[in-house]
Amino acid sequence: MVATRAFADRRDAGRLLARQLRPFADRADVVVLALPRGGVPVGYEIATALHAPFDVISVRKLGVPGHEELAMGAIASGGVYSMDSELIHHLGLTSDEMLGVIRDEQKELERRERAYRDQREFPEVADKTVILVDDGLATGQSMSVAVQAVSRLKPGRIIVAVPVATREACAELSAHADVVCALTPEQFYAVGAWYDDFSQVSDGEVRALLDQGRGQRGA
């Protein structure tokens, strides 16, 4: 067990992380994109502190058939995906099995996009500084796919911002983006181990925070 948790909840983590991102406050070229659902409360606090536009970039884990908790890859908005070829080969998964999972998760990703964005277009990020946010990184696979997806849109700079992560995940992502992480514990345990409250974030909470973020920008 972790003796002392670092964050009260995701919004507390976002406020703490926002302090490290102060140089990006009040800049017209900054956009904050959160990975739903857990990254949204974190990203909301960061966007609020920086006075930056706030939206989501959807990423879905691709679970091994019959063992869905084991990730064999991930898929993001725009059809970008990443697969763990070594794991797939080890398990002897067929192309049909993989395609079936990809189709199912693509449908869920599209459902979430419709629910969260409500027909709004994905924000313009070309030549801008994009801050990608999640509540923590264990393997970093989902975030890696998000980085790939945003890279296709030709941003000026990508920053991965997370409250807690493994050192390995940060090192791998740093080859493709700037990484800002409040905590990289030597003994990681799990993302939720560093929060007092790590309860599941609902679709309703995501929509409410996105609406609040748009309302603040409009004001």
Q: 86 in a domain, yes or no? A: yes
Q: 175 in a domain, yes or no? A: yes
Per-residue pLDDT band at 213 (split at 50, 70, 90) = confident
Q: 42 in a domain, yes or no? A: yes
3-state SS assignment for residue 20: helix
Q: 4 in a domain, yes or no? A: no
Q: 5 in a domain, yes or no? A: no
Domain boundary among 116, 137, 160: 116
Q: 201 in a domain, yes or no? A: yes
Structure tokens at 170: 């940060």
Q: Is the pLDDT confidence value at 214 over 90?
A: no
> Whole-prediction pTM value?
0.87
Domain co-membership, 100 together with 205:
no
- The pLDDT of residue 4 is 57
β-sheet with 59-64: strand ranges across: 59-64, 67-76, 80-83
Domain co-membership, 98 together with 185:
no
Domain co-membership, 168 together with 104:
no
* 6-52 pLDDT, tens digit each: 899 999 999 999 999 999 999 999 999 999 999 999 999 999 999 99
Domain boundary among 75, 95, 116: 116
- What is the domain range of residue 36? 10-54+126-214
Structure tokens at 99: 């395609």
Domain co-membership, 49 together with 70:
no
Domain co-membership, 18 together with 104:
no
Domain co-membership, 78 together with 109:
yes
Q: How far is CA 115 from the centre of its chain?
A: 17
- The pLDDT of residue 182 is 95
Q: Cα-flanking dihedrals φ and ψ of residue 195, to 5°?
A: -120, 140
Mean pLDDT of the chain: 90
Domain co-membership, 178 together with 93:
no
Domain co-membership, 67 together with 165:
no
Domain co-membership, 162 together with 206:
yes
From the list 212, 210, 214, 218, the residue with the least C-alpha distance to 116 is 210
Q: Is the pLDDT confidence value at 218 over 70?
A: no
Q: How far is CA 2 from the centre of its chain?
A: 24
Domain co-membership, 131 together with 210:
yes
How many domains does the chain contain in total? 2
Q: Cα-flanking dihedrals φ and ψ of residue 128, to 5°?
A: -100, 165
Domain co-membership, 49 together with 139:
yes
State the Cα torsion 200-205-209-212 to the nearest 10°.
Answer: -160
Q: 3 in a domain, yes or no? A: no
Instruction: Give, in order, the Cα–Cα distances in Å from 207 to each of 1, 61, 202.
Output: 33, 21, 9
| Better-predicted residue by pLDDT, 52 or 61 | 52
Domain co-membership, 48 together with 133:
yes
State how far the Cα of 104 lies from the Cα of 2, in Å rounded to an integer.
36
* 138-193 pLDDT, tens digit each: 988 889 989 999 998 999 999 999 999 999 999 999 999 999 999 999 999 899 99
Rg (CA), the chain: 17
- For residue 48, the domain's CATH number is 3.40.50.2020
